[in-house]
Amino acid sequence: MEEFIHSRFNYWIYVILMMIGLWGMISKNNLIKKLIGMSIFQTAIILFYVSIAVKSETANIPILPHHGHDFSPKVALAHADSPYHEEDHGDHNGHHTHVETPKVPDPDGYANPLPHVLMLTAIVVGVATLGLALAITQKIYREYGTLEEDELLEKVRADDHD
Partner 1 sequence: MIEHAPVLLMVVPLFAAVFCALLGLRWKVVCLPLTIIGLGGALYFTIIAFLQVSASPDHQISYFLGGWNASDFPRGVGIEYRVDLLNGMVLIVIAAVALLVAIFSKQFVPRETPGKEPQYYALFLLLAVGLMGMTITADAFNLYVLLEVSSLTSYALIAMGSRRASVAAFQYIIMGTIGASFYLLGVGYLYIKTGSLNMQGIHDTLIGEGLHDSPAVYVAFLLIFVGVWIKLAFFPLSAWLPNAYSRAPTATGCIIAPLMTKVSVYIMLRIMLTVFGPEYVYGELSWAGPMVWVAVVAIIAGSILALGQKDLRRMLTYLIIAEVGYMVGGAWLLAPGGMARGESLYSTATGLVGTGYHIISDAAMTLCLFLAVGAMIVKAGSSRIEDMKGLFRKCPVTMACFVVGALAMIGVPPTCGFFSKWYLISGAFEAGRWEFAAALLVSSLVNAVLFFRIIEFAYFGKLPEVDDAHGHHQHHDEGGMEENPPSMLVPLVLASVALIAIGLFNKEIAGYLSQFLNTVAMGGQG
45 binds partner 1 (CB under 8 A): yes
129 binds partner 1 (CB under 8 A): yes
CB 47 within 8 A of CB 13: yes
DSSP string, 2-46: HHHHHHTHHHHHHHHHHHHHHHHHHH-SBHHHHHHHHHHHHHHHH
128 binds partner 1 (CB under 8 A): yes
40 binds partner 1 (CB under 8 A): no
CB 132 within 8 A of CB 115: no
83 or 115: CB nearest partner 1: 115
> What CA–CA distance (Å, rounded) separates 7 from 143?
51
CB of 62 to partner 1, least distance (A): 15
CB of 18 to partner 1, least distance (A): 8
What backbone phi and psi angles, to 5 degrees, belong to 112?
-70, 115
Chain residues that interact with partner 1, rule: CB under 8 A: 22, 25, 31, 34, 38, 41-42, 45, 48-49, 52, 115, 118, 121-122, 125, 128-129, 132-133, 136-137, 139-140, 143-144, 152-153, 156, 159-160
